[in-house]
Structure 1
Amino acid sequence: MKKRTTIRISAFLLCLCCAFFTSCKEDDGKGYVFGYDISSNPGSLDPQYASDRESYLIIGSVFEGLFRIGADGNAEKAMAESYTVSDDGLTYNFKLKQDRYWTDVNGYNKKVTAADFVFGFRRLFLPETRAPKASEYFCIKNSDKINSGEITDLSQLGVTAQGDYSLTIELQYTEPSFAMLLAMPAAMPCNEEYFIKAQGKYGLDAERTASNGPFYVKTWNYDAWSNNNNNLVLRYSDKYNEHDEVTPLGLNFFIEDNHITDFTDGTSQSIVLSGSKAKSYLDKNYIYDEFSTAVYGITMNTSNSIFRSDKLRYALLYATDTAELEMPFGYTVADGAVPPSVKNSLGSYRDVVGGKAVVKPDEIKAYTAYQSACAGIDKADLYSVNIIAVENRDEEIGESVKGILQQWQAKLGMYCSISYISESEYDEKLKNGDYTLALTRLNGSYNCPEAYLNSFTDNVNKYSAMNSDYSKLLEKASQAKDEKEEYELCRQAEKQLISDGRFIPVAYVTEYFISTKNCENIIYDAFTGQIDYRNALYFD
């Protein structure tokens, strides 16, 4: 059994102290140390370089950008005191808060200025940074040319400081989701002096991770060969707390596999669950929020398999009737490739664009297309059709997908099976195009339809890429003059993706962020996995 002896004893002593000092006064919920389990060691707490959800989670507590994600899921001002946008939507002028400081476990102390944002964005686009999210910010003037090496003069980047507390960002085209992008980890500030002193190890340990947010990293313990005391300990920042109250004393992130066990025994106070695992925790002993930010579907490999044939794709598409499927708890039939929780100021994407994007089943069209496809396909290739899926993740929805396979068999006479493989093997097969069909789980990295639909473009190319018309639609969507136009262009791209038979939507996943009933004011962003603990309370 895994043990975290040192930190458990410390937590126990802390609880005793808290009990002693609060026994004589009313419990206000402040000063608690919250626990939360993460599945793996964060790859890097360098915001410009980070790419995994564990890193994003910690970065969200340690850094603060111009915006943050609010409780309503929209971007709200953070480091930005105020801002204006030009009439053409291409120039953003920010006034920064003047009372924010950098700190770390060694007591680093320096004011956060506009120059820190300039340096952070320059690092984001430098080719040597190899920033995984750089392309998402190519709306910024000259960013793409700097990233490609075409421009080497960084002063030409459209991010400039106008004094210590005024920042200007110039765009080369409008971006309706720009405020949301400025709340993401890649857009965090970076202090140049601190970064240079880190000597290539910035964000890789507690001693070389700066903070301008509500918490700083006090300790970071990880031993890949041991299961004992792997954790990150965060404590609230005095400097931040001077101007914006931070109610918890700190956060303990345990690098653990036994998330449910730790939640049940009180080591952690919150957990994210979906499907049948969540069902028993949705009662009066817990509080929870639910989100639909993931969608399952069947992806056809059009690169180097028999599904280059549009006739075969159409056959399976029209033979699929998801309305007839029995869904497990926490799953609902999908009517598009973008899930219901994606929204902007206009409302939910699904509601704004008119709901369903799926193709109406048609058995005659399916059979006709299948017969036409079979005339040009080797029968042996048809017998090799198989759906790959991720083991220990996809089994529940896989039972519903079996219903689709039965429909294909009954309507077309085509046999297909599902193979569950490790996630690493699954990713490798996708990368190499070594599959015919894949049970795909789409997760958006931020609250925007393009975050889902871009998975099928040449730029991302995680799955078989659509044609250039599809990519152009999404490119236009990212440059739309307003949110209404953005959603309309995404609707057109989504319809094209599904009607072409590249992706058959199957189910939306409901994800539950569950906390013990003692907790209040914990805000979860289901897109990034970040948790806002700034105003969190815990009542004994």
Structure 2
Amino acid sequence: MRKSKWIVLLVVFAMVASLGLAGCGGGEEAPDSEQPADDQGDQGKDEEAKDDGETGNKLAEEQVLRLNWNSEPPNLDPQLSQDATSSRILIDTLEGIIRLTKDGKVKQGTGMAKTWDVSEDGTKYTFHLRDAKWHDGEPVTAQDFEYSWLRALDPETASTYAFLGYDIKNAQAFNTGEIEDPSKVGITAKDDKTLVVELEAANPVFLSKLQNSTFLPSRKDLVEKWGTKYGSEAEYLPSCGPFKVTEWEHEQTLVMEKNENYWDAENVTLERVEGVMITDSNTVMNLYETDQLDFIQVPNQYLDKYKEKATIAPEAACFYYTFNLDNVYFENLKIRKAFTMAVDREKIVSLRYKGTRPPAFGFVPPGMPGPGDKTFREANGPQFKDLGTEGMKEEANKLLDEGLKEIGKTREDMAKDVKFLTFDGDNNLQLAQIWQQSWNEALGVNIEIEQSTFKIKVDRENKGDFAFSFSGWIGDYNDPMTFMDMWITGGSQNTTNWSNEEYDKLIKKAQTTSGEERMQAMLDAEEILLEEAPIAPFFYDAVVLAERDYVEGVIRLPLQVTNGLKYAKILAH
């Protein structure tokens, strides 16, 4: 992959959860008393400050970083987690086969694998692991990775991210129950320090997938000992990464401390990370402006105030409506298209986000690689129109009229029967209310809004207990497939219950071919996806960050996968 297609920003780690990314959502508001204004300790006081070793800047004596996780991580079991908040904590507390470099590249020696070899045909990887320990002194072994990856693929685990491993030989067949013998899957611990992985076909992005939390190691002995408690509390969270979770008060705070048994502990400067879980934007701003948080994502209503001070970090992420095709209304294509068209994306996004985010007329975000020298978005262009185009209001109403007639319903029926599900937090409510007004003005349907915590919302979507909802997806690796394979028939992330045989064939083709042929299959698949409209893209994301000058060395990549806080440090101030 070319460096130009990565947006590498040395900015502070921030949650995208205030917008509810597929994997991120809000937790309940923590009371202000959890962070009293005068409880600052001695942070920043330093009589004989040490050098940071890179820039020559002096380090603070107390290496404590204070942040807002925003949401409660639903599950810190790496094979069960499915959200960005959990992923970022797991990346900081566990070490995968690889760890992306500071500029977002895959490089040998940065993670648990010291080196690796690849066969000539690109279908066999042999990883040679370094000497490393878990936080309790137990050795990290190749068997830990073999167990964890097979556990993710085991249908009994019900991992929603199992599909990420489908590149591996027989992985999909094992996950779907076609074969039952895990020894037939191409994952083998040859010995304690050697992991051999065989693929179905050569895939140039396979290595970059391994940074995802699904591929992080778990402890077989502790999974068997703790059962469903694994990953649920601080005391049930083993660590082999830069930090370990030492405190976790659910819906309130989560604290990490440096893991002294980490193989690269000498390059970890922070001693402690103190995080709260707050969704109310005014509370967040109050904590930041009273020096109780070291960095934040700037809420929308404060963008004008902070536009000169903030850093905008684009993300490979798309936010969209998810339509449940098992719902009597949204089973109808004409009704889905009417709601897709019945908002003015350009106008709403411009007014709401002050130019920090672009509207979305396709699903795969800008910057993702495409054919030749083009990005995917450049190659496929806009895939639909909305109220910003003349005549769309009339067309949307015509489609809604026809769709309702086909199912024997009226606008009054729809207003009574259909609710829009979104995340908690005032920002999410405000955005939903803008859409509510747009649907009412354009289509004459007043849709009720439901808000829910991320955990409950995802559970409802997985059970099909919704009509349509606000969703988002951030790329797991730098390739369009991270957005396209979500929507295959029966896919674990496909909560729309949409199924299209031609789409499935194109994704399969893209998974087993290369070059222009592979890319064209994904371009064609996106056209089918947006013509069928099980989802309706609305905007591409960016994170607007405000941070203290004394925070240094936290790396923000545009993907869900990030280096987190390993290299973060607090300068003397």
Shorter-chain TM range is 0.7 to 0.9
- The separation in 2 between residues aligned to 1:216 and 1:523, in whole angstroms, is 19
User: Size of the alignment, in residue pairs?
Assistant: 517
Match of 2:242 in 1: 214
Distance apart, 1:420 and its partner CA:
2.0
Pair 1:250 & 2:276 matched: no
Distance apart, 1:169 and its partner CA:
0.6
Q: What SS does the corresponding residue of 1:115 show, helix, strand or coil?
A: helix
Q: What SS does the corresponding residue of 1:22 show, helix, strand or coil?
A: coil
Match of 1:33 in 2: 64
Query: Per the alignment, do residues 222 and 318 of structure 1 end up closer, same or farther by CA in structure 2, a change over 3 Å counting?
Result: closer
Q: What SS does the corresponding residue of 1:469 show, helix, strand or coil?
A: helix
Pair 1:536 & 2:568 matched: yes
Pair 1:423 & 2:452 matched: yes
- The separation in 2 between residues aligned to 1:372 and 1:7, in whole angstroms, is 58
Q: What SS does the corresponding residue of 1:421 show, helix, strand or coil?
A: strand
TM-score normalised over the length of structure 2? 0.76
Match of 1:125 in 2: 153
Match of 2:529 in 1: 497
- The separation in 2 between residues aligned to 1:179 and 1:160, in whole angstroms, is 17
Pair 1:295 & 2:318 matched: yes
Query: Per the alignment, do residues 354 and 312 of structure 1 end up closer, same or farther by CA in structure 2, a change over 3 Å counting?
Result: closer
Matched residues, percent identical? Answer: 22
| 1:389-468 pair list within 5 angstroms | 389-390=421-422, 392-398=426-432, 401=435, 405=439, 408=442, 414-423=443-452, 430=461, 438=468, 440-444=470-474, 446-447=476-477, 448-458=479-489, 459=491, 460-468=493-501
Quick one: which amino acid aligns to residue 167 of structure 2?
Answer: C
Match of 1:265 in 2: 290
Match of 2:194 in 1: 166
Query: Per the alignment, do residues 377 and 153 of structure 1 end up closer, same or farther by CA in structure 2, a change over 3 Å counting?
Result: closer
Gaps of 5+ in 2: 1-30
- Greater shift, 20-29 or 186-195, is seen at 20-29
- The separation in 1 between residues aligned to 2:74 and 2:323, in whole angstroms, is 31
Say if 1:275 and 1:331, in contact at 8 Å, map to a contact too.
Answer: no
Q: What SS does the corresponding residue of 1:234 show, helix, strand or coil?
A: strand
Q: Deviations over 1:352-376 (max 9, x none)?
A: 5243233485738667766765764
Q: What SS does the corresponding residue of 2:306 show, helix, strand or coil?
A: coil
- The separation in 2 between residues aligned to 1:247 and 1:371, in whole angstroms, is 62
Say if 2:484 and 2:526, in contact at 8 Å, map to a contact too.
Answer: yes
Pair 1:478 & 2:511 matched: yes
Structure 2 counterpart of 1:305, from 305, 328, 337:
328
- The separation in 2 between residues aligned to 1:275 and 1:466, in whole angstroms, is 36
- The separation in 2 between residues aligned to 1:347 and 1:214, in whole angstroms, is 38
Pair 1:50 & 2:72 matched: no
- The separation in 1 between residues aligned to 2:132 and 2:60, in whole angstroms, is 22
Q: Deviations over 1:21-48 (max 9, x none)?
A: 4299985336621122223443443322
Quick one: which amino acid aligns to residue 252 of structure 1?
Answer: E
Match of 2:137 in 1: 109
Pair 1:137 & 2:170 matched: no
Quick one: which amino acid aligns to residue 291 of structure 2?
Answer: G
Distance apart, 1:522 and its partner CA:
0.6
Distance apart, 1:321 and its partner CA:
5.9
Say if 1:359 and 1:499, in contact at 8 Å, map to a contact too.
Answer: no
Structure 2 counterpart of 1:469, from 502, 514, 523:
502
Structure 2 counterpart of 1:333, from 359, 362, 375:
359
Pair 1:384 & 2:414 matched: yes
Query: Per the alignment, do residues 162 and 297 of structure 1 end up closer, same or farther by CA in structure 2, a change over 3 Å counting?
Result: closer
Distance apart, 1:481 and its partner CA:
2.5
Match of 1:411 in 2: none
Say if 2:419 and 2:450, in contact at 8 Å, map to a contact too.
Answer: no
Q: What SS does the corresponding residue of 2:183 show, helix, strand or coil?
A: helix
Say if 2:313 and 2:542, in contact at 8 Å, map to a contact too.
Answer: yes
TM-score normalised over the length of structure 1? 0.80
- Greater shift, 361-370 or 333-342, is seen at 361-370
Structure 1 counterpart of 2:254, from 227, 231, 249:
231
Q: Deviations over 1:400-439 (max 9, x none)?
A: 646854784xxxxx42234321126866775566766x35
Quick one: which amino acid aligns to residue 269 of structure 1?
Answer: D
- The separation in 1 between residues aligned to 2:36 and 2:400, in whole angstroms, is 63
Say if 1:388 and 1:426, in contact at 8 Å, map to a contact too.
Answer: no
Distance apart, 1:64 and its partner CA:
1.0
Quick one: which amino acid aligns to residue 156 of structure 1?
Answer: K
Say if 1:46 and 1:204, in contact at 8 Å, map to a contact too.
Answer: yes
Q: Deviations over 1:30-88 (max 9, x none)?
A: 66211222234434433223334332222111111112244444544422223233343
Cα RMSD of the aligned pairs, angstroms, is 3.9
Match of 1:86 in 2: 119
Say if 1:100 and 1:239, in contact at 8 Å, map to a contact too.
Answer: yes
- The separation in 2 between residues aligned to 1:395 and 1:48, in whole angstroms, is 31
Query: Per the alignment, do residues 421 and 111 of structure 1 end up closer, same or farther by CA in structure 2, a change over 3 Å counting?
Result: same
Query: Per the alignment, do residues 320 and 119 of structure 1 end up closer, same or farther by CA in structure 2, a change over 3 Å counting?
Result: closer
Pair 1:3 & 2:30 matched: no
Gaps of 5+ in 1: 409-413
Distance apart, 1:300 and its partner CA:
4.8
Say if 2:316 and 2:365, in contact at 8 Å, map to a contact too.
Answer: yes
Query: Per the alignment, do residues 316 and 187 of structure 1 end up closer, same or farther by CA in structure 2, a change over 3 Å counting?
Result: closer
- The separation in 2 between residues aligned to 1:268 and 1:203, in whole angstroms, is 26
Distance apart, 1:188 and its partner CA:
1.2
- The separation in 1 between residues aligned to 2:462 and 2:240, in whole angstroms, is 37
**Higher strand fraction (1 or 2):** 1
Match of 1:521 in 2: 553
- Greater shift, 420-429 or 180-189, is seen at 420-429
- The separation in 2 between residues aligned to 1:280 and 1:198, in whole angstroms, is 49
